[in-house]
């Protein structure tokens, strides 16, 4: 990715300038949908998010899919493949580089508590833990680094991750394919409400995880 994304076009940002920093970020991400390196950016973000740095590829996938609904499934496939490939790097970091790179990732982004949670469960049932936690809003890299640190079966991790990540990304693709431009227009007009709804969903999932 040698080129930066171009300025947002009028089609990508129909409401003009905004002072909302989150909406500015959303529009910047949407700009990749019109960039010739957009698909590679999606793959790169997914790979890095699975192993080293928190760059959620979900937002770029949604932006690109809303911009081009007919390619929604293709973007979901790219996201899934790159994400699972990144899981291999995360596993290697946990197994061989934890005291250097792995510990930096965990400590730098405040994942200590979640990493301890992964360590205490991942060897008990690798498949279920990886399947569920690769689908819900949970730092995916923590699962991969933790699995490597504990020596959990890599094959099991990858199979479960492929199922969980593909279910997540292809579900998003179907929603975007059905909504298309109407979905993008709704997000623009009700941006704060969309953020509130996503936040409520994340909180609900976290509460359910802790009570089950």
Tell me if 207 is assigned to some domain.
yes
The rounded distance, in Å, linking the Cα atoms of 134 and 140 is 6
Q: How does pLDDT run across 176-208, given as a tens digit for each residue?
A: 888 766 666 666 566 566 656 655 665 665 566
Q: How does pLDDT run across 18-77, given as a tens digit for each residue?
A: 666 666 766 776 677 777 888 999 999 899 999 998 877 887 888 888 888 889 999 999
Tell me if 196 is assigned to some domain.
yes
Tell me if 141 is assigned to some domain.
yes
Per the structure, the complete domain to which residue 95 belongs is given by 21-211
Please report the pLDDT score of residue 78 as a whole number: 97
Cα atoms in the Cβ-side hemisphere of radius 13 Å centred on 103: 5
Q: Please tell me the total count of domains within the chain.
A: 1
Tell me if 15 is assigned to some domain.
no
Tell me if 5 is assigned to some domain.
no
Q: How does pLDDT run across 97-137, given as a tens digit for each residue?
A: 999 999 999 999 899 988 998 888 888 889 888 888 888 77
Tell me if 11 is assigned to some domain.
no
Tell me if 127 is assigned to some domain.
yes
Q: How does pLDDT run across 128-143, given as a tens digit for each residue?
A: 888 888 887 788 999 9
Tell me if 119 is assigned to some domain.
yes
The rounded distance, in Å, linking the Cα atoms of 188 and 18 is 11
């Amino acid at each position: 990715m040698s080129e930066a994304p171009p300025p947002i076009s009028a089609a990508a940002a129909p409401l003009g300038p905004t002072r909302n920093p989150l909406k500015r970020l959303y529009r910047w991400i949407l700009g990749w949908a019109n960039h010739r390196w957009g698909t590679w950016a999606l793959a790169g973000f997914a790979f890095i998010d699975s192993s080293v740095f928190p760059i959620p590829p979900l937002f770029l996938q949604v932006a690109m899919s809303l911009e081009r609904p007919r390619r929604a499934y293709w973007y979901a496939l790219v996201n899934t493949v790159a994400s699972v490939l990144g899981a291999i790097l995360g596993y290697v970091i946990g197994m061989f580089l934890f005291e250097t790179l792995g510990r930096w990732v965990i400590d730098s982004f405040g994942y200590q508590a979640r990493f301890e949670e992964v360590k205490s469960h991942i060897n008990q049932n690798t498949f279920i833990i990886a399947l569920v936690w690769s689908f819900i809003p949970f730092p995916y890299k923590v699962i991969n680094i933790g699995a490597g640190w504990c020596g959990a079966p890599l094959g099991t991790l990858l199979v479960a991750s492929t199922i969980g990540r593909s279910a997540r990304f292809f579900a998003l693709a179907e929603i975007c394919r059905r909504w298309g431009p109407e979905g993008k227009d709704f997000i623009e007009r009700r941006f704060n409400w969309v953020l509130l709804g996503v936040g409520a969903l994340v909180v609900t999932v976290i509460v359910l995880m802790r009570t089950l």
